[in-house]
Amino acid sequence: MVYERVVVGLGNPGPEYDWTRHNVGFQVLDLLAARCGAFFANASRLEGFAGKRCFTWCARKCALLVKPTTYMNLSGEAVAAVQQYTGVPSESILVVYDDFDLDLGRLRIRAQGGPGTHNGMRSIVNGLTANGLGTDRFPRLRVGIGPPPTDAARHVLAKFSERERAEVEISIAEASDAIEAWLDGEPIERVMTRFHSRWN
């Protein structure tokens, strides 16, 4: 099968990380998969894939949904393996992840940009290639998890409170709507205009 677009959700593998702030990327992909009745499978079950088995995947039409099974700081290994397998340009790989520089539940889409303070994104910038070099020219959707009260590392690994989770679930659904529009062929700039207007 030929895949035209890839969506990568960032998180840490293992049930102990479910619904932690750092795993909202996984939660968005889980919802996208559920909406089309798909289930995630090990990389070993991806037809013709011979690279490092460091992700799980499911298919949505001509798109590949990917959750790295590396820990967050090594996410670039999985994304590089997927790019090599699919052959898609970096502009066709969208990454969804948490951001503590955004208020809880806020959403932002960008067509490209640096990794900021996010270690997973830094790994991806180093792992993705355009013209043989690392690149930050790929779209991303940030899900706000709110600023850390003190320790950032402890904050991102903390689970959402019941009240916070209710708010974040709404944001996850809206993020999924935006990604589906992009997967259906809408240019990222148009998705940005349409959804930013709604979110604001």
Active site residues: 22
Distance CA 138, CA 178 (A): 16
CB atoms within 10 A of CB 1: 10
Distance CA 172, CA 174 (A): 5
CB atoms within 10 A of CB 126: 16
